[in-house]
């Protein structure tokens, strides 16, 4: 089968279609990104910026909008490459997808997924492909999912296992547990699934499949993972039960429920806001405010950790947006100390450990991060890459199978860091370079557009000299 068209059906498709990595998009302007980016020691950073739309909620808004009947208007959608891949996918499943303006999108759903004409290429989007597999499993269709070289390395059986237990069928086209894989859905039965790893992706895939399964599907978590899917399902008209279960909870969903299109306001992404805020903490004299950041307690583990390290971090203008509490976070240059991060906090900040490790390099003493083996199966082995990059910059790091320890102090820098195309590895080392003695260079910076289009412009606006 051929690949699906790489743009939504809209007059503005040329502005947002997938493209080779040297280009990204900021509003209606195209910004050239070189093969390498360099971060040099920066003067004080000042200013107020807006957080990009939350990546997790952006994926879910598109998918639920496509599963629903009627119109879903989305404000503040993140227009990164991962989200555009999901937009192309839901269009291929039969929804009408339109870009109305910067961050303003409309999805018109037909009440479910239809048989697509070709392979669903999810690019680098791990969340996108796993949630889409769960959704597609509920319909009597057969679809092949694929992705880029990075996504093909990421494990998929953590999702396909419970989906197979519900009755979905999987045909691996190469290495088992890795993309590409064909999913044949329909005729599902509810499952009572107990998660061994706190993962919102697994939980969400099972719940989305459960919408079309006979019976009541439940997911029990020993530790709570982010609850965006539960919140958004309710916004689209579904009944979702959540009951305490020890330290975690038990989420239940009755099959056969129909979704109705709704309005979604996407709050600012705390994972993206972390980078300008981190720079504010380590560059002397800085005061940086990021507006509209989501404050869901299942996503703010990094901010809690920073405060324990002594960070001058304040929140103002708390308010509700899209069913989530948001606020304006200000970070001021701080004298930091190392801490032991509780392993149980990992679920609330798993994507933020790279930037935490970069900040820990400037803290007095050791910062211990354990219980984070999940980092090894993200877009890259993030434990190994952060350890290697920090070590190249003169920082002492002790790596372990399920974590690492960073010993802070003076940061030499002066290294070229290999990112293996991982956006968070790139941005974390660029932040590090803003306060290091010598410049830090990262390769493959074009991948930053997967989650944070406009990152370079935003950081330059605060006073940095990224280039």
Beta-sheet strand order (sheet of 416-417): 36-39, 440-443, 416-417
Tokens representing 135 are 């959704």
DSSP state of 294: E
For 376, other C-beta atoms within 10 Å of its C-beta total 14
> Considering just the CA atoms, what is the radius of gyration of the chain in Å?
21
Check residue 133 and give left, alpha or beta (phi > 0: left; psi -120 to 50: alpha): alpha
DSSP state of 364: B
351 classed as catalytic: yes
Task: Tell me how long the chain is.
Answer: 467
Phi, psi of 135 (to 5 degrees): -65, -45
CA 292 to chain centre: 17
Tell me the C-alpha distance between 405 and 413, whole Å.
18
Tell me the C-alpha distance between 61 and 103, whole Å.
12
Check residue 370 and give left, alpha or beta (phi > 0: left; psi -120 to 50: alpha): beta
* Catalytically annotated residue among 312, 351, 422, 443: 351
For 343, other C-beta atoms within 10 Å of its C-beta total 15
Among all residues, which ones are annotated catalytic?
A: 351
């Amino acid at each position: 089968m051929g690949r699906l068209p790489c743009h939504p059906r809209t007059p503005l498709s040329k502005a947002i279609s997938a493209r080779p990595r040297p280009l990204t998009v900021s509003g209606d302007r195209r910004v050239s990104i070189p093969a390498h980016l360099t971060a040099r020691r920066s003067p004080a950073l000042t200013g107020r910026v807006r957080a990009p739309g939350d990546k997790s909620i952006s994926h879910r808004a598109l998918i639920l909008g496509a599963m629903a009947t009627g119109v879903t208007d989305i404000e503040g959608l993140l227009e990164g490459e991962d989200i555009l891949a999901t937009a192309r996918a839901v269009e291929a499943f039969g929804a009408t997808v339109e870009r109305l303006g910067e961050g303003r999108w409309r999805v018109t759903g037909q009440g479910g997924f239809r048989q697509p004409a070709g392979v669903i290429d999810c690019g680098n989007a791990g969340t996108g492909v796993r949630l889409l597999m769960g959704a597609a499993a509920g319909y009597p269709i057969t679809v092949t999912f694929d992705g880029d070289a990075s996504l093909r390395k990421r494990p998929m059986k953590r999702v396909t296992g419970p989906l197979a237990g519900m009755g979905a069928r999987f045909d691996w086209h190469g290495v088992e547990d890795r993309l590409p894989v064909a999913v044949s859905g329909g005729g599902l039965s509810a499952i009572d699934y107990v998660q061994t790893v706190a993962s919102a992706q697994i939980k969400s895939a099972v719940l989305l499949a459960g919408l079309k399964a006979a019976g009541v599907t439940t997911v029990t978590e020993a530790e709570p993972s982010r609850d965006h899917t539960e919140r958004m399902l309710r916004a689209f008209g579904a009944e979702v039960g959540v009951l305490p279960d020890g330290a975690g909870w038990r989420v239940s969903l009755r099959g056969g429920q129909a979704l109705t299109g709704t309005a979604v306001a996407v709050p600012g992404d705390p994972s993206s806001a972390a980078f300008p805020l981190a720079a504010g903490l380590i560059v002397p004299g800085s005061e940086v405010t990021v507006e509209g950041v989501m404050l869901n307690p299942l996503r703010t583990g990094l901010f809690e950790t920073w405060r324990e390290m002594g960070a001058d971090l304040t929140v103002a203008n708390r308010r509700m947006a899209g069913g989530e509490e948001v606020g304006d976070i200000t970070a001021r240059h701080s004298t930091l100390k190392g801490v032991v991060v509780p392993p149980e906090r990992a679920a609330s900040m798993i994507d933020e450990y790279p930037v935490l490790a970069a900040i820990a390099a400037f803290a007095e003493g050791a910062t211990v991060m354990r219980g984070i083996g999940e980092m090894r199966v993200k877009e890259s082995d993030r434990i190994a890459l952060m350890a290697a990059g920090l070590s190249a910059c003169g920082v002492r790091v002790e790596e372990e199978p399920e974590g690492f320890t960073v010993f802070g102090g003076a940061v030499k820098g002066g290294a070229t860091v290999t990112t293996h195309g991982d956006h968070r590895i790139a941005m974390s080392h660029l932040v590090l370079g803003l306060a290091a003695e010598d410049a830090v260079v990262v390769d493959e910076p074009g991948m930053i557009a997967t989650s944070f289009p406009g990152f370079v412009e935003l950081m330059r606006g605060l006073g940095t000299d990224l280039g």
